[in-house]
Amino acid sequence: IFAAIEEENDLLMTDEDVEEMIVLAFELLCGRRIPMLVFAYRGRWELAAALDNMEKARSEYRIAQATGLSRIRALASFVNNQNLKQNPEQETFLLQINHSADLLVEQAESFLDQKAETLMTYCLKAKKQPKSADMRWVKEQADVLSESLALWKEIRKAYERIGRIHAVLIKASERWEKFISTFAVSDDKLQIGKGLRGLKVLEKEIALDAEQKSDVCQQLAVFLN
């Protein structure tokens, strides 16, 4: 959800995410108060910068992960549509979009394997008996295969990106650890001061007052209509 907000891209949210946001909105309308802790750091700029870098890397990593997953789901939906098109009447095996990425990739891979094999076998037969070959079918199957292949490449690209960003995140977090150990006043003592410098923890609450509730209701009504 954070990834979708940061990227302003609704497609990074799943249906379940949307459902949870709607539930949360209704809970807030019913008067739920959600306690939260806010962390802030004031003090040495090196530390502040290191923390900033780490947070940035972390959020980029989250976005990359969400992007990868949405690419996988795009391929899974494509596979499902093809299976439905092929057997419109029978009960078809469909990929469960909310399954884990590993499982979806595995199933998509076997779809591509199967498509390629069927097409290859047909083409070899058609070469021997060109007159009885259904060229429209061959073209259709080739289009499906090439489109799934393109989606597969997208997934691969997204996952390579996740790997690269993960490395950046590890580096940033190592840097942060290094700064912490360099600048730490004492390793094992928690120092409590006036709160001008150091890590600040604030307790806040998310809740809606009457006016805000009315705003949310108006917005929800637009969506629901």
Partner 1 sequence: PPVVVAPKRDWYKALIEARRLI
Describe the crossing of helices 15-29 and 210-224 by its angle, rounded to 10 degrees: 140
Residue from 47, 51, 54, 65 that binds partner 1 (CB under 8 A)? 65
**Binding partner 1 by CB under 8 A: which of 20, 55, 117, 215?**
117
Asked if residue 141 binds partner 1 (CB under 8 A), the reply is: yes
Cα angle for residues 119, 102, 105 (degrees, 5° grid): 20
The answer to whether residue 102 forms part of the interface with partner 1 (CB under 8 A) is yes
**Which one among 10, 16, 109, 174 touches partner 1, defined by CB under 8 A?**
109
82 vs 141 by CB, closer to partner 1: 141
How distant is the alpha carbon of residue 158 from its chain centre?
A: 11
Residues in CB range of 107: below 8 A, 6 or more apart = 76, 79, 95
- In whole angstroms, what is the distance from residue 43 CA to residue 39 CA? 13
Q: Burial letters for 128-155: b for 16+ Cβ neighbours within 10 Å, e otherwise? A: eeeeeeeeeeeeebeebbeebeebbebb
* Phi, psi angle pair for 88, to nearest 5°: -70, -25
Rounded to 5 degrees, φ, ψ at 153 are -65, -35
Asked if residue 156 binds partner 1 (CB under 8 A), the reply is: yes
Number of H helices, E strands in the chain: 6, 2
Which of 90, 132, 146, 225 forms a contact with partner 1 (CB under 8 A)?
146
- Report in angstroms how near the CB of residue 194 gets to partner 1 at its nearest: 45
Closest CA to 145 of 119, 176, 182, 173: 119
x/- map, 165-204, partner 1, by CB under 8 A: ----------------------------------------
Residue of the chain from 139, 164, 197, 204 that contacts partner 1 (CB under 8 A): 139
Smallest distance from partner 1 to CB 149, Å: 6
Residue nearer to partner 1 on the CB measure, 25 or 119: 119
- Residues in touch with partner 1 (CB under 8 A): 65, 68, 72, 101-102, 104-106, 109, 112-113, 115-117, 119-120, 123-124, 126-127, 133, 135, 138-139, 141-142, 145-146, 149, 152-153, 155-156, 159, 162-163
